[in-house]
Amino acid sequence: MSEHDNGYLWDKSGPVDPEIQRLELLLEPYRCRGVPRLPLPSHVGLLRVSLLPRLVLAGAAAVVVMAVAWFVLRGMSPDTWTIAVLSGEARVGSLPVSGSARLRAGQVFETEAGALASIRMPRVGWLDVEPNTALRLIASGRNQQRLSLLRGTIHAHVSSPPRVFIVDTPSAVATDLGCAYTLHVDRSGDGTLRVTHGWIEFEWKGRDSLVPAGAMAVTRAGAGPGTPFFEDSSEAFRLALSAYDFPPDAQARSRALATVLSEASPHDAVSLLNLVRNAPDADRGAVYDALAKLVPPPPRASRKAAIAGDPSALDPWWQAVGIGHPPGP
Amino acid sequence: MLTNELVLPRLALAGARPVEARSRSMTVPSDEDLVVSAQNGDREAFSRLYAGFAPMVHGILLARVPRDEVDDLLQDVFVRAMKRLRSLRDPRAFGAWLATVTRNRATDYHRAPHGSKLPDQIPSPRPVETEAWFVLQAIRNLPEAYRDTLMLRLVEGMSGPEISARTGLTQGSVRVNLHRGMAMLREALAKKVV
């Protein structure tokens, strides 16, 4: 090929250059995703005048909400989390932690570079906290223990009943269904989840993925969780799945789905089962058909019921895949 | 943007004026018109420029600073641009001017003291992420002209003509930068030289 005759490189016309396309898919996660809100310093005065009454009302409402939340949490006899700093420097709020400390709802715990910590959560289990991690304890009641992972990495070991322990991230909510897992969030709000035991429900704004042991899922700020997959799936499958979950445009998504379905092996049935649940209506039929070729559907998993998202149709299929099925709500 | 006939999404901005439209297709101002309006204090015009040029600024920053810093610096670039916009004499040169503001901001970032920090930390590398990081580093190590153009093409998904329209470079320059940069990138990836 001469220096200037690659139409695909120039304006995406002509035959697709497979290497360039592969690089595009590979680098797509680094693309500008939406436009963050722009501060407008030269117009602060205008905003201040027009928004002042609303800000006053919002402030008053926030005070009321905080007061109610405080009374509710107080009435739930919260459990206190106990932190043990194993190495390095860490702090609760602005106070350095030496050895052990208590963590209460609303407080932020942070580890510095090189620090490791473990947090005991009564009747739930424990968390291992890696360096450069910040988390806020949201609630530690009897029915729900919840934290917000602001950045960094935690390893959760949970023995409580399903749906008691919940972790919020900027782009997904991880609900424990009886398991152990590692969750990482970077500063941009993107994250990765690796489940080592049991199941996790990874949800954001109605888009949810069921992630079984051995699988992982990524989540992107502004988009939510992607489809779970096994890390030893083929590279072509994983790249196409990522392009399908986080597509630059509708055409790319359509192309990616074709690749996902053609590259899927029986090992990837977990991914396709999640796609049957989460894909847009127009794609579900094709996903069902591809999955049915890899893992024959049980009698109850009719095409119509499965495409409609009927759990009674999908649950037996989870069993047929050989990984059990996630605990119900 | 060179095209004048576009269907734009409504901008949910404080003070935004209703979009005048007789049909789904509407006439929208050119970038040049938007720059002039923004210079006269039209916030909606500046917000449209922001939305349109953000990918270019993002790509140029990504070629120069750690990924974690890009979003903050992107905002900072546009705030700087907004403050200095009145000094821009030729509205047609907005893209090239903004690219210069962006490169200067990246230079300032590297002059400022930072803690010890890896370029783009990846906590527990997966094969795909590791390769993406490797490719990104390879692009960052290319000469500046190739680096920016390839970043806009491969990461931001812009076509050659779009890159030309945004950056103010001629189409010929962009074409050369793309092809020579791609050749150097292929060579670097083949040798795994970062």
Nearest CA distance, B36 vs chain A (angstrom): 17
Inform me whether the pLDDT recorded for B18 exceeds 60: no
Name residues whose C-beta falls within 8 Å of residue A148's C-beta, 6 or more positions apart in sequence: A135, A136, A138, A167, A168, A169
Pairing of strands A191-197, A180-185: antiparallel
Nearest to B154 among A23, A187, A188 (CB): A23
Measured between beta carbons, the chain B residues lying within 8 angstroms of A3 are 179-180, 183
Residue A136 has pLDDT above 90, yes or no: yes
Query: Are B144 and B174 found together in one domain?
Result: yes
* Closest partner CB to B157 (pick from A41, A46, A248): A248
Among A173-182, A248-257, B111-120, B150-159, the minimum mean pLDDT is found in: B111-120
Give whole-number Cα distances, B123 to A10, A164, B128, B129, in Å: 35, 27, 13, 10
Find the range with the poorest average confidence among A75-84, A176-185, B21-30.
B21-30
The alpha-carbon gap from A24 to the nearest alpha carbon of chain B, in Å, equals 5
B128 to chain A, any CB pair closer than 8 A? The answer is yes
**8 Å CB contact between B38 and B45:** yes
Residue A10 has its nearest CB partner, among B43, B50, B178, at B178
The DSSP H or E segment spanning A51 is helix A44-75
Q: At residue A241, does pLDDT exceed 90?
A: yes
Indicate whether B99 belongs to any domain.
yes
Percentage above 90 pLDDT, chain A = 36
The answer to the question of residue A11 being in a domain is no
Check residue A92 and give its pLDDT.
Answer: 94
**Judging by DSSP bridges, how do beta strands A90-92 and A108-111 pair with one another?**
antiparallel
Q: Which of A155-169, A256-270, B46-60, B114-128 has the lowest mean pLDDT?
A: B114-128
Name the residue facing B160 among A11, A130, A248 (closest C-beta): A11
| pLDDT at res. A270 | 92
CA nearest B72 in A: which residue? A36
pLDDT surpassing 60 at residue B11 = no
Task: Clarify whether residues A200 and A279 are in a common domain.
Answer: no
Q: Under a CB-based contact definition with an 8 Å cutoff, are residues A215 and A225 in contact?
A: no
Q: Is residue B8 part of a domain?
A: no
Is A4 in Cβ contact with B124 (below 8 Å)? no
CATH assignment of the domain containing B144 = 1.10.10.10
- Which of A2, A3, A8, A10 to substitute to test the interface with B, most B CBs within 10 Å? A10
Looking at the structure, tell me whether residues A175 and A307 fall in a common domain: no
Under 8 Å between Cβ of B101 and B73: no
ipTM above 0.95, yes or no: no
Nearest one of A192, A175, A170 to A183, comparing CA atoms: A192
Residues A89 and A216 in one domain: yes
- Per-residue pLDDT band for A126 (boundaries 50, 70, 90) equals confident
Q: How far is CA A74 from CA A78, A141, A249, B44, B170, in A?
A: 7, 9, 48, 47, 66
* B110 shares a domain with B85: yes
Question: Would you call B123 and A153 a contact, using CB atoms and an 8 Å cutoff?
Answer: yes
Domain assignment present for B20: no
What is the distance in angstroms between the Cα of B190 and the nearest Cα belonging to chain A? Answer: 12
Dihedrals φ, ψ of A280, to 5°?
Answer: -55, 150
pLDDT of B3 above 60: no
Q: Please check whether residues B131 and B89 belong to one and the same domain.
A: no
Token pair belonging to B107: 């230079």
Q: Verify that A212 and A245 share a domain, yes or no.
A: no
Say how far apart CA A301 and CA A217 lie, in whole Å: 25
Pick the residue of B86, B175, B185 with the most A CBs within 10 A to test the interface with A by mutation: B175
The range of the structural domain enclosing residue A193 comes to 78-226
Structural domain range at position B186:
122-194
Chain B residues with beta carbon closer than 8 angstroms to that of A239 = 128
Instruction: Tell me the nearest-neighbour CA distance from A306 into chain B, angstroms.
Output: 31
Q: Which two tokens stand for residue B165?
A: 């329209």
Distance CA B44, CA B90 (A): 20
Shared domain for B95 and B140, answered yes or no, is no
Q: CA distances (Å), B185 to each of A168, B5, B134, B141, B163, in order?
A: 39, 36, 11, 9, 18
CATH number at residue B47: 1.10.1740.10
Per the structure, how many domains does chain B have? 2
**What integer pLDDT is reported at residue B22 of this predicted model?**
34
The token duo for B22 is 């007789």
One DSSP character per residue, A270-292 reads: HHHHHHHHHS-HHHHHHHHHHHH
Is B119 a residue whose pLDDT tops 60?
Answer: no
Mean pLDDT on A179-203? 90
B153 close contact with A: CB closer than 8 A = yes
Residues B87 and B143 in one domain: no
Chain A residues close to B179, C-beta within 8 Å:
3-4, 6, 9
Distances (CA, A) of A254 to A28, A259, B52: 16, 9, 25
Greater pLDDT, B132 or B167: B167
Give the range among A102-111, A181-190, B75-84 with minimum mean pLDDT. B75-84
Q: Which residue has the higher pLDDT, B115 or B166?
A: B166
Contacts of A232 in chain B (CB under 8 A): none
Identify the domain boundary among A206, A226, A246: A226
pLDDT(A185) > 70: yes
Tell me the average pLDDT across B43-66: 90
**Which residues from B are below 8 Å from A231, CB to CB?**
126-127
**Residue in B51, B126, B153 closest to A231 by CB:** B126
d(CA A81, CA A105): 9
Same domain, A180 and A299: no
Q: Which residues of B touch A188 (CB under 8 A)?
A: 67-68, 71
Q: B118 Cβ partners below 8 Å, 6+ apart?
A: B66
Whether residues A119 and A215 fall in one domain: yes
Chain A residues closer than 8 Å to B186 by CB: 19
Rounded to the nearest 5°, which phi and psi values hold at A233?
-70, 165
Q: Please list the residues that pair with A174 across neighbouring strands.
A: A167, A202
Please report, rounded to a whole number, the percentage of residues in chain B having pLDDT higher than 90: 37
> Coil, strand, or helix at residue A23?
helix
Nearest to A220 by CA among A252, A238, A246: A246
Residue A86 confidence (pLDDT): 80
Six-digit token pair at A167? Answer: 């972790």
Q: State how many domains chain A has.
A: 2
- Both tokens of B58, joined, read 């993002």
Query: Is the pLDDT score of A38 beyond 90?
Result: no
Shortest CA distance from A230: residue in chain B: B126
Cβ B159–A3 below 8 Å, yes or no? no
Taking 70 as the threshold, does the pLDDT of residue A109 lie above it? yes
Amino acid B28: pLDDT: 64
Does A203 map to a domain?
A: yes
